[in-house]
Structure 1
Amino acid sequence: MATSTAVATMPSASLPAVGAVDPSDVMMNHLQEVLLLNSDPISLLNSFEGDDFLEQLAPVVEDAVNANAVDLLVDRLATITAQKETEVQELCNSNQQEYTKAVHQLAKVKQNSEQMLSSVLEINQSIQKSGRAFVARNKMLKDSQGAKNNIDDATTALHQCLKVLHMTNQVYDMIEQKKYFQALKNLDDLQRNHLQEVAQFDFAQRIRHSVPLMKDTIKQDVISDLAVWLQSVHEVASQIGMIAFSSTEVRRRKWKAKADKDPHLRFYKLNSAVELAMEQDDDDEKFDPLDNAHIKVDLTPFYDCILIYTALGSLNEFREQYEYDRVKDTERLLPQSINFTDDDISPLENLLHGACGFAIVERATVRMAYKVRTAESVDRLWESMCQRIADLIDPVLQTLHNPETLLRVRTLLGLFIQTMESFEFSVVRLQSFMLSLFGKYSDFLKQRFAQEFNQSVMEDDYMPMVINQRELWEQVVNISWYQADIDPSNVTFPCILPFSQVYPLCCAELRNFVNQHYNFSDEFTEQNPGQIESTLRSSVDQLLVDVVCATLLTRLKSSNREEIVQIFINLEYFESAASAIERTLNETSSIHLPEPIKLDAVSEFARARKNAEQRIFELINSKIDDFLEIAEYDWETTTENSNPSSYLIDMVRFLETLVNQTLVNLPQSITSFLYFDAFDHLATSMLELILNAGRRISKPALHNFDRDVHYVEMFVQDLGQPENSRSTSTALSTFSPRNAKNRSTSVNGAAPEDPMLLRHRSTDDDGDNSLLTTFTELRQTINLLLSSNIEEYNNTEVRMRKYGRVKPQNAMVLVEKLHAAPATPSRARRLYRGRGN
């Protein structure tokens, strides 16, 4: 109760004034709350021994410090302690008997504790005594165990050292046995694992330092083995190429056999998509030029190099070095120059075999080790090889003189191209070179053709070809694109063909020329068919135009009429041959042409025929002019001749020979043109003779001239009759003075039944295109001069009927000359002043 009162009075003694809160009051209130929680003295004493009271008191101390009231707190605690001690004393005084009993019990417990301590000490001494022996034995055991561990460690280290040494020896043995990858693997295992276990030993450090050297040794050895392998491959490269060539040749024969059975396959070459698809359908196993019954190329050294350099992390180094070495190998493979001749092309064959084998090995390395040999690097190397091969061959081609050698070179190159194409190599550069070779071959053929054709032209007799045997006739007909007009079975011998022997000889050479081109182009793939066709067409066309046609045109300068006529006939058949060749080129084309092939030679031969025709005209007219130059007329003569002029008789004989012999083989259309041209020229020239006569023309001179013209007219009329009824003598017999006189009378209109007059009237009136029309103007002019009534010319109706072709100026000039003596020129002008009306 007293405690409660004391506690209760403490706060009131220290309360501050109202309205102000003193921090010390807060602290004291907090302390009072703590003490109130443990108001029981026993509980309070017990609480002093625990941590909870301190935790409760800590805030009070903190408040005292903060309030700067530590002294107050101490005083307060001292007061409370004194109070609590008084309370405890009072409590003890009330419970003294229990306390005394407790003290006795504690004393007894203490005695027992001392006895127990003594026992424990005795036990401890006993344990310590026995423990010393145990410790000694334990120490001995530990020492023994350490020695054993040391021995074990030494044994383990010794085994590890022996293992490292053994593995090192194995590495050297494997290097000697060329087991490079296993050696490198063991070396890597040794370096990564086992050397670490014996790193404390000096020999391990030495081995560690020798590892790079051993790796370099492996690298050098594997490169040396690769060099040996490459040398061995270089030695068998030619054999590899030869075997590959043989395989391609077998494929070519098989494909040709298939193409012969199926004509549609001729448009597709070897290695085309169609050929490859059909080849896959065959049961034959695909041929490997590197692994067959004749040769086996082991690529192991190459793969070992890749494996070793990959393991060493130096694959890029190997790739660059290998590519550089392969470039050097091509330089050693392809010589600086090559020499082959018309008699021996084996050096070229060996060159192509070696290049083929080398490239095949390169392609194999790409397929099996694409990380080292890429297709791009091999293709670059191949392109350089192709260029080098072309550069080696091209100069030698200039020294060759035999087209057959070029054909053999073509066969080799074609086989080479098809072989390399089957191994997926680009052959564009080689195809381009083949086109160049094709051009050279064509030039050779053209040169040889030109030589042989010129020889044939020089030896030709320019006469129709006479055949005495059927076999020869059949050969000539078959080779000359000649269509006989009769059934071959009805041909009798000797047989005369219209062309001369130069034509069939040239046709044979032309066929051979075209066939040789086709044989050459068989080696080409389908990559350049248009260029092949273009080159062939150009070559054939150039040959026909520049050699055949040009040579024949040159021969047209000859003055030999028979030769010119025969050349004209030959040109006609050459034109037909050019058309036939044009059809052949279109039919045998290996590609589908957008438009048909057209040869300029067809039109050139047609133009040459026109030139030959013109040349015949010129020669005939020139000969006619020669006769006319010797014509002598006395235009003022008073004597009439009984026969035509001698120059005209010779001219008619010449024309008769020309018609019956020289021009007999010409087509009827051509002979008609020739006759028209010749007789028109003759009529015009004879008209010029009379127009260019002197000042006066006498009647007898006019009759003599009329006789000459009529003589020519009879010959011209006789050309239209059958050959067996032609006779110049008949025409001569009709000419007598009497007939001439009667004819003159009939011209005046007294005898209209005169056949010549009837003929002239019919041709003039009816517009007939017979040969006599060429003399119409001359005949009408002579009839006008012989007419007894010249004034009728002024009558338009009569003039148009009788003298429609006579020009007024010519009529005026001739009438003046005819009447020069009895009539003056002024009278003649007045007589014909109305001609233009």
Structure 2
Amino acid sequence: MDQEAQTQVSQEFQKVLLSSVSASLPSIVDDDTKNLSGQDDVLELDPSAFDKWVPYLRRSVERDQLGLATEELYNSVDDHFEGLEVELLQDSQVNDKLRNSIGQISRVHNLIENSLVRDISNIQDQLNYSTNEVIMKKEVYVNDKKTSLKILEANILITKVLQILELSNKCQELIIERDFFKALQNLDSLEKIYLQEFKNYNFQFLKEIYNSIPYLKSSIKNECINSIRNHFNSNIGKNIADVGEGYFNVYDEKLFPTWLEKKDHMKLANFKFNSPVEVSLRDEDLVEELNLEKFFHLDEFHDSILIFRSLNELDYLISEFRREYEFRKAKLIDPLTWRKSQKGNGSAFGDFTNDLFAQSLTMDFLKQYFLKILGFLLYDINLNRSTDFILVDNDYNATNEFWDALMLRLEPYLKHFVRKLQTEEELGEFKNFMCMYVCILENHNLNIEPLYRLLIVVFEKVCNVNTTAFSAEFDILLHDDDFMPLAISDRGLYEKMLKICWMKDDELAKARAEAAEQNGQFTITLPFSPLYPMTCTLLKKTYNKLIHFIGTYYRHELHTLNNILVKTMESIFSKIINEKIRAKLDSTSREEIAQILINLDYFVIAAKEFSNMMTRDNILQNPSIEIKLASINNYVESRKYAEDQLIELIDSKVTDILETVDLDWRAMEVRQEPDISIVDVAQFLEMMFSSTLVNLPYSVQTLLIFREFDSLTRQFLDILLHETPPKITQESILNFEVDMKYLEGIISRIFPQRESESNGNNELQSPLMITSPTINGFTRSSNTIGNNVKSLEATFTELKQCIELMKLENMGEYNDSEIRLRKYPRIKPEDASLLISKVEIPMNDVQSSFDDIDLNNSSQESNFRELSTNGKKIAKFFNRG
């Protein structure tokens, strides 16, 4: 549909165009003559005809079909004007007009030809003139252009020459201003410009500038090296000690006090300074103060590395740096000599007495020296890190290598210095400084083993100093001790004593209960002497000092420290306390030895409790470790030795008293009272066991009583058998029986059944005595006491059988084996024969008595031998052997 409408429009538009053209053609023909006569050829359209085109053109434009309309018009022209030329020629009017116009055309042709010839001539003249003028101007232009190019070239050349001069001048200024890297950049630019632009020019002054480039580069290199030397002068001189001191003070005066406050506040007693916990809790502001970049400025090294890298001479810089750095190190450690060949022992470095460095060693000098070394270590660490370890040829352990070499040289001197320290204050000051120093080294990944070994030596020295001090104070305590039970009349002092002294739990509870029962005047006597509580106090004081000494800083090799600590306390317990107390056992005083024995019982407890305390403190921080002092066994051995000494002393005394006994074996009268010498023996035994030895452990008392009565009966039996005359009277035998019964009678007084029975009333004894601990587990019950009394009375059995045998009027009774085994089982046949032979009886009775005894009867002899050993069974029961 659109195509049909378009075709219709196109046809209508064509009709309008044709009508317009047909209306214009006559006017064109009519005007030909006019045109040939020289008038303008004008083809004009009627404006009214053109207005007719407008709607069709607008419609095509609105429909965006102008191109299509134009194409249709061309096609329409071909269709409608194809036969127009023939039609015109066949038109007579037109032919007439054409014939009339031929003459006119000829005239016009002539006119045009003449006019064109003149015009061409004029044009040719003008062209010749213009050509000549253009040629002249072109020659001028070419000459001017060559001149301009030369001027431009000269201008460019002058500009580059000026640039070279400016670069040369700027380079000199930058060298003077010590901005070497920029100076080198200018030299590189100058060199490039010369080689690119002026290499082929023969400018002498430029050649001289170019030839000066190597000198300027050499000057820059020398100035870089000099700037490094000047940097060393200003940084590795007196200032390095200030840096070390400032850095150290941040740790010592800020970080450490802050940690102590946090540790108390947060209850972090098990964590030490510089531990991971402490490091993680540090204040960031304080940590920022430790930034090494704030202490050192290393611009010279950065510039030098850039410069020498640009010059491709970095190896030269490294070699010069090493040579200068080694010189600075050697100067830094002065007056210590820096030797490359070190053998690691003190003797290799010469005699300390003639060594300048050894003679300079004081605490202040050592601190300043190590602070200077610290400043250098920090400088070296920062320098290597900031320069990416280029100057040390990528040796990432360079600082540690220097430090290890220095410590290999210093360690013998430091040990020599520590050996000179005598007081605990000096050792503590040295320890505090070196421990803080170790913390700093550890945080910078430097080797701390040499200094830590030295700190362990310091701890050993402190242990030795405290051991010596303990020994001196213990000597005073031992000398001043009265070796008497400790009587206390102040309740507060008593409570303090119970806290100070190590006692068994049940004994401690009993002591507190008895103290609580005290009303009115307070008086309690503790079984040990003042030596024990004073020694306990001294032990705790010494141990706490040693624990405090290592408790703040020491974090490594705890097993070594623990071994030293245990060894020290073992030495104090064994070599000081035990050996000095043991030396006192040579005393001849029973009271003193008895009190020492009691004290040893408590020192056994002290050694055990001290072992438990060290286990609880656990400096190894290992809950599976249990510490047990070997001195426990030493005290047990000393206690046994004290028992033996006491027994020997009592035996000696009893023997001395028995030597004074003089019995009348020829007496003719029977006494009702014991002999005075026997009374002395009995009173000595009763007094000794009821007063002198009353404070001993009950097991020890029992052992001593059995030991002494067994010895006493054996000695009296020996007297009866071997020290009596060949013949003794019946009266003397009866008197001897009275004496032995008297001795046997004191047993019940030595072993009272109950306090109320022994005192005759229910009143408490005053002062109150806390009994000493029992070692072998004996308890002082009434049944045990009763059994002990019966066992002790059995020691008189053999002696009593001998007396009964000697009292026989009819010796024939002894011949009856049944009676003999029942009444005289403890008497040996040979002893019986000897005793009977001593009694004054008719000889025929004696002979008849022995006629029936077959001493060769092996069975009877065996029975007698077996029975004779029964007296030793009680002693064996109490480990007497």
Aligned to 1:357: 375
- CA 1:436/1:154 → structure 2, altered by over 3 Å: closer, same or farther? same
User: In structure 2, what residue type is equivalent to 1:480?
Assistant: C
User: In structure 1, what residue type is equivalent to 2:645?
Assistant: R
Aligned to 2:111: none
What does residue range 264-275 of structure 1 map to in structure 2 within 5 Å? 265-275=268-278
| Deviation at residue 520 of structure 1 after TM alignment | 1.2
SS of equivalent residue, structure 1 residue 231: helix
Aligned to 1:451: 472
Aligned to 2:38: none
User: In structure 2, what residue type is equivalent to 1:358?
Assistant: F
| Deviation at residue 546 of structure 1 after TM alignment | 0.9
Distance in 2 of aligned mates of 1:165 and 1:211: 12
- CA 1:632/1:523 → structure 2, altered by over 3 Å: closer, same or farther? same
Distance in 2 of aligned mates of 1:405 and 1:779: 74
Aligned to 2:89: none
Match of 1:485 among 511, 520, 533: 511
* Conserved 8 A contact 1:414-1:523: no
- CA 1:535/1:151 → structure 2, altered by over 3 Å: closer, same or farther? same
Aligned to 2:853: 831
- CA 1:431/1:790 → structure 2, altered by over 3 Å: closer, same or farther? farther
* Conserved 8 A contact 2:751-2:789: no
Aligned to 2:625: 595
User: In structure 2, what residue type is equivalent to 1:647?
Assistant: S
- CA 1:325/1:586 → structure 2, altered by over 3 Å: closer, same or farther? farther
1:245 paired with 2:248, answer yes
Q: Which moved more, 1:440-449 or 1:819-828?
A: 819-828
| Deviation at residue 623 of structure 1 after TM alignment | 0.7
* Conserved 8 A contact 1:812-1:832: no
Distance in 2 of aligned mates of 1:535 and 1:702: 69
Distance in 2 of aligned mates of 1:576 and 1:159: 104
Aligned to 1:654: 684
1:423-454 Cα distance to aligned partner (Å, 9 max, x none): 23232222222111111111111111111111
- CA 1:299/1:622 → structure 2, altered by over 3 Å: closer, same or farther? same
| Deviation at residue 348 of structure 1 after TM alignment | 3.1
User: In structure 1, what residue type is equivalent to 2:403?
Assistant: W
Unaligned segments of structure 2, at least 5 residues: 1-129, 337-356, 760-782, 864-881
| Deviation at residue 540 of structure 1 after TM alignment | 0.8
Distance in 1 of aligned mates of 2:818 and 2:219: 128
- CA 1:485/1:210 → structure 2, altered by over 3 Å: closer, same or farther? same
Unaligned segments of structure 1, at least 5 residues: 1-129, 728-761
| Deviation at residue 211 of structure 1 after TM alignment | 2.9
Aligned to 1:211: 213
User: In structure 1, what residue type is equivalent to 2:309?
Assistant: T
| Deviation at residue 616 of structure 1 after TM alignment | 0.9
SS of equivalent residue, structure 1 residue 466: strand
What does residue range 476-625 of structure 1 map to in structure 2 within 5 Å? 476-482=497-503, 483=508, 485-487=511-513, 488-491=515-518, 492-590=521-619, 591-625=621-655
| Deviation at residue 675 of structure 1 after TM alignment | 1.0
User: In structure 2, what residue type is equivalent to 1:356?
Assistant: L
* Conserved 8 A contact 2:301-2:387: no
* Conserved 8 A contact 1:637-1:700: yes
Distance in 2 of aligned mates of 1:708 and 1:819: 20
* Conserved 8 A contact 2:271-2:277: yes
- CA 1:616/1:197 → structure 2, altered by over 3 Å: closer, same or farther? same
* Conserved 8 A contact 2:667-2:729: yes
Distance in 2 of aligned mates of 1:602 and 1:812: 52
- CA 1:319/1:289 → structure 2, altered by over 3 Å: closer, same or farther? farther
User: In structure 1, what residue type is equivalent to 2:301?
Assistant: F
* Conserved 8 A contact 1:541-1:599: yes
- CA 1:577/1:144 → structure 2, altered by over 3 Å: closer, same or farther? same
User: In structure 1, what residue type is equivalent to 2:745?
Assistant: M
- CA 1:432/1:137 → structure 2, altered by over 3 Å: closer, same or farther? same
Aligned length: 669
1:794-820 Cα distance to aligned partner (Å, 9 max, x none): 555544543333333332332233368
SS of equivalent residue, structure 2 residue 288: coil
What does residue range 155-194 of structure 1 map to in structure 2 within 5 Å? 155-194=155-194
SS of equivalent residue, structure 1 residue 644: coil
1:25-65 Cα distance to aligned partner (Å, 9 max, x none): xxxxxxxxxxxxxxxxxxxxxxxxxxxxxxxxxxxxxxxxx
What does residue range 795-806 of structure 1 map to in structure 2 within 5 Å? 795=816, 797-806=818-827
- CA 1:489/1:720 → structure 2, altered by over 3 Å: closer, same or farther? closer
User: In structure 1, what residue type is equivalent to 2:605?
Assistant: S
* Conserved 8 A contact 2:229-2:324: no
1:315-347 Cα distance to aligned partner (Å, 9 max, x none): 344445545554544444444336799xx8333
Distance in 2 of aligned mates of 1:185 and 1:438: 61
* Conserved 8 A contact 1:719-1:726: no
SS of equivalent residue, structure 1 residue 486: helix
Aligned to 2:76: none
Q: Which moved more, 1:497-506 or 1:319-328?
A: 319-328
* Conserved 8 A contact 1:340-1:346: no
- TM-score computed with the length of structure 1 as normaliser: 0.72
Match of 2:715 among 680, 685, 688: 685
| Deviation at residue 195 of structure 1 after TM alignment | 4.9
SS of equivalent residue, structure 1 residue 462: coil
Distance in 2 of aligned mates of 1:188 and 1:810: 131
- CA 1:426/1:790 → structure 2, altered by over 3 Å: closer, same or farther? farther
Distance in 2 of aligned mates of 1:331 and 1:822: 115
* Conserved 8 A contact 2:428-2:549: yes
SS of equivalent residue, structure 2 residue 421: coil
| Deviation at residue 582 of structure 1 after TM alignment | 0.8
- TM-score computed with the length of structure 2 as normaliser: 0.69
| Deviation at residue 718 of structure 1 after TM alignment | 2.1
User: In structure 1, what residue type is equivalent to 2:242?
Assistant: Q
Work out which structure has the larger RCO, using CA pairs closer than 8 Å and 6 or more positions apart in sequence: 2
Aligned to 1:399: 420
What does residue range 713-724 of structure 1 map to in structure 2 within 5 Å? 713-721=744-752
1:708 paired with 2:734, answer no
User: In structure 2, what residue type is equivalent to 1:301?
Assistant: E
1:501-552 Cα distance to aligned partner (Å, 9 max, x none): 2222211111111111111112444321222222111111121111111111
Alignment RMSD, CA only? 3.7
Distance in 1 of aligned mates of 2:175 and 2:735: 128
Distance in 1 of aligned mates of 2:847 and 2:164: 148
Distance in 1 of aligned mates of 2:266 and 2:715: 68
